[in-house]
Amino acid sequence: MNEAGVYGMVAEFGDATTLVEAATAIKQQGYRQMEAYTPYPIKDLHEIIPGSNFVPPIVLVGGLIGAATAWGMEYYIAAIDYPINVGGRPLYSWPMFIPILFELTVLFAGVFAFFGTLALCGFPRPHFPLFNLPEFSGATSNRFFLCIERGDLLYDSESTASFLQSLNPIGVWEVEDI
């Protein structure tokens, strides 16, 4: 297979234990562009395969925008745009603004969390090169995969394959990038 049209080298492992051991070994070998595919989250992998996580700041910004929106809207409407004089009570009655302030903070934080996570995941992306591998459909049920991507500096069809074979996998495949 011509390396140019390749997405990466995929190896399947029998369980979480061997997967984490293999991921550690691959990292020690010097590979950096690696990704694991598992049917449920495995926390140990997050240390072995580091990655960015911008979800918390996105949610914080969303919450702050929500709070500012609520406060600005309530102040503008209640005190400037449509003032209602109730027995001379203050127009800027901020304690009464708190419930909506809270709700809009939560609403914006939640909407930012949802769409921010989708964006960071690159979703929607209905097709992915690894879906070309028939075995890969098990990655969402009971099968554990590791993929060394072609962009890795150490990637080489033959040496990477033989290295993965040495980690006692169930199978090793080179997957096309279609």
Partner 1 sequence: MPESIALEERQRHTARPLDPNNPLEVVAPGTTFETVSEQISSIVLTRKTPLFWWCTFGFGLFLFVVFGISIAYLLAKGIGIWGVQIPVAWAFAITNFVWWIGIGHAGTLISAFLLLMNQGWRNSINRFAEAMTIFAVMCAGMFPLFHLGRAWIFYWILPYPNTMTAQPNFRSPLVWDVFAVSTYFTISVLFWYIGMIPDLGTLRDRAAGGFKKGFYGVLAFGWRGSSHHWRLHQTACLLLAGIATPLVLSVHTVVSFDFTIAILPGWHSTIFPPYFVAGAIYSGFAMVLVLGLPLRAVYGLHNLITVRHLNNCGKLMLVTGLFLAYTYLIEPFTAWYSGNDFEMYTVHNRAVGPHAWSYWLVILLNVVIPQALWFYKVRTRVVPLFTVSMVVLVGMWVERFMIIVTALDRDFLPSSWSNFVATFWDNAMFWGSIGMFIVLFMLFVRFLPMIPMAEVRELLPFSKPGGGTEK
The answer to whether 12 contacts partner 1 (rule: CB under 8 A) is no
How far is Cα 147 from Cα 52, in angstroms, rounded to an integer? 18
CA–CA distance, 175 with 10 (Å, rounded to integer): 7
Which 75-104 positions form the footprint of partner 1 (CB under 8 A)? 77-78, 81-82, 84, 86, 93, 96-97, 99-100, 102-104
Is there binding between residue 29 and partner 1 (CB under 8 A)?
A: no
Query: Interface with partner 1 by CB under 8 A: which range of 4-12, 25-33, 140-148, 157-165?
Result: 140-148
Separation in Å, CA 17 to CA 72, 125, 126, 153, 167: 53, 30, 30, 27, 12
Rule CB under 8 A: choose which of 5, 114, 159, 165 binds partner 1. Answer: 114
Contact residues for 55 (Cβ-Cβ < 8 A; gap 6+): 113, 116, 117, 120
Work out whether 53 is an interface residue with partner 1 (CB under 8 A). Answer: yes
If one asks whether residue 139 binds partner 1 (CB under 8 A), the answer comes out as yes
- Ranges within 145-174 binding partner 1 (CB under 8 A): none
Minimum distance of partner 1 from residue 70's CB (angstroms): 8
In the numeric block, the tokens 């009971």 are attached to 142
Contacts of 116 (CB under 8 A, 6+ apart): 54, 55, 58, 59, 62
Q: Which amino acid is at 56?
A: P
3-state secondary structure of 34: strand
Binding interface with partner 1 (CB under 8 A)? 14-17, 19-21, 35-42, 44-46, 49, 51, 53, 55-56, 59, 63, 73-74, 77-78, 81-82, 84, 86, 93, 96-97, 99-100, 102-104, 106-107, 109-111, 113-114, 116-118, 120-128, 130-131, 136-142
